Amino acid sequence: MIKVVIYEDNPQLREGLSMLIDGSDGFTVLAAFKNCNNVVEEVATFQPDVVLMDIDMPGINGIEGLKLLRQANNNVKILMLTVFDDNKNVFEAIRSGANGYILKKTPPSKLLEYIEEAATGGAPMTASIATQVLKMFSEIHNSTNDNYNLSDREKQVLQLLVNGYSYKMIAGEMFIAIDTVRSHIKKIYEKLHVNSKSEAVAKAFKDKLV
């Protein structure tokens, strides 16, 4: 029996979801709430397997409720159920520990499948959401692998910075004037969106630029 708690501010939808899930074999709805104001205490009290969480609620919204819940409980599965399929909400929900992200227009039979999938360790997503997630991760991957459009000379300067060279040593190594080194470093800072040598070196390591 998969135990479910629902957070949804629309009373008709809350009641409809409760009746659908509770009336289906293998599922039981322990409670349904109109906001996340006491989400941590409620989930601790009812101990559900899966939480169905609306995003757009008055008071503490679903994303904030998700974050609060994740601070206290890493075991419960949390499915975001929403009308939104925009990048910002999707990314924020996944980054904050949601186990899945599905749209409210999902057909009832599919919704039950998604709940079961989440309960057994899956990460269910509506097709349109999954497409966006893949696109977002692709964009993130590309942004960390395009070398920030650094020129070969700038990469060489950055490598020497990473190696601990001073401006004067870089100038000597590359047979260029110190002013040219400064010019290269200024451009590197601009392209990497950093303001200091230590930040530039940290970013070079993090994004594998050298």
Final residue of a domain: which of 141, 160, 193?
A: 141
Do 180 and 161 fall into the same domain?
yes
Do 190 and 127 fall into the same domain?
no
* pTM greater than the 0.75 cutoff: no
Per-residue pLDDT tens digits for 140-170: 655 555 568 899 999 999 999 988 899 999 9
Final residue of a domain: which of 107, 141, 175?
A: 141
Which CATH number belongs to the domain containing residue 112 in this structure? 3.40.50.2300
| Number of domains composing the chain | 2
| C-alpha closest to that of 4 among 97, 114, 91, 129 | 114
For residue 100, list its beta bridge partners: 79
pLDDT at 173 over 90: yes
pLDDT at 146: 58
Do 10 and 111 fall into the same domain?
yes
Per-residue pLDDT tens digits for 81-126: 888 666 678 888 888 899 999 988 889 999 999 999 999 988 888 8
Final residue of a domain: which of 101, 123, 141?
A: 141
Structural domain containing residue 113: 2-141
With a CB cutoff of 8 Å and minimum separation 6, the contacts of 64 are: 36
